Amino acid sequence: MITAENLHRSYTIGHKTVEVLHGLSLHIKRGEKVFLCGPSGAGKTTLMYTLAGLEQPQQGKVLIDGEDIYALNLRKRALFRNKTMGFIFQNYMLMPELTALENASLATSIAGRESTERVKALLERVGLGDRMEHLPNELSGGEQQRVAIARALAHDPALIFADEPTGNLDSRNGRQILDLLFELADEANKTLVIVTHDSQIAARGDRTLIIRDGIVASE
């Protein structure tokens, strides 16, 4: 599903250049649940964004289903991303002026696969059938993350990226969110790539890739 080859990514801060990815390579199979772990500043989130076509590496390539995504122009890459990928963020990233139903429908609108009935069914599945018309500030953190999961799955992407999806939740809600995400992914054989600092959470995946000093240090 995903192959990364010799990725290099650095940032310039003032007069200093910090190399975050240092010749990193990896392969993730379709249907796998892979956790990216490592110390703070190791490059986990940068790697996820690079795999997702959001941060272009200075060197190397990313192949998704054989497609070299950085060989595509910006428009085609965005179209490929909108068709193939869903995203779940630690801070939920919901539009405050939109209802749960409207937020969950955003990805389907962008991908050109708008289906209100599918989105409503997903919100029912994530336990928000009676909260569809509520705004984000009327929902708990766990409920907001459930909206984010429904949004990520609404356009039926093959690949889900999640950046610390349980990081703002207590252990009970975090466990429920992960259970729900795994259940929904298993039903449609979706590939999950999840960034976490929590080794107990990561132990639930098929594989854990430890990122250290810009490379995959172990798995």
What domains can you pick out in the chain, each with its CATH number?
31-48+84-218 (3.40.50.300)
Cα–Cα distance for residue pair 142/113, rounded to 1 Å: 26
pLDDT at residue 50 in the model: 97
pLDDT at 111 over 70: no
pLDDT at 163 over 90: yes
On whether the CB atoms of residues 157 and 190 are closer than 8 A, the answer is: yes
pLDDT at 110 over 70: no
DSSP H/E element including 218: strand 215-218
Its pTM stands at: 0.92
- For 68-78, the pLDDT digits (tens) are 999 999 999 99
- For 189-216, the pLDDT digits (tens) are 999 999 998 888 899 999 999 999 889 9
pLDDT at residue 210 in the model: 94
As a whole-number percent, the residues of the chain with pLDDT over 90 amount to: 68
As a whole-number percent, the residues of the chain with pLDDT over 70 amount to: 97
pLDDT at residue 114 in the model: 65
pLDDT at 219 over 80: no
Cβ-based neighbour number of residue 140 at 10 Å: 11
* Sign of the dihedral defined by the CA atoms of residues 100, 101, 104, 106, in that order: negative
Question: What are φ and ψ of residue 21, in 5° steps?
Answer: -110, 130
Cα–Cα distance for residue pair 98/101, rounded to 1 Å: 8
Q: What is the mean pLDDT of residues 96-113?
A: 85
On whether the CB atoms of residues 33 and 194 are closer than 8 A, the answer is: yes
69 secondary structure, DSSP code? G
- For 37-76, the pLDDT digits (tens) are 998 888 999 999 999 999 999 999 999 999 999 999 999 9
Q: What is the mean pLDDT of residues 126-135?
A: 95
pLDDT at residue 23 in the model: 95
Judging by beta carbons within 10 Å of its beta carbon (0-12, 13-18, 19+), is residue 135 exposed, middle or buried? middle
Q: What is the mean pLDDT of residues 107-117?
A: 72
Q: What is the mean pLDDT of residues 116-142?
A: 93
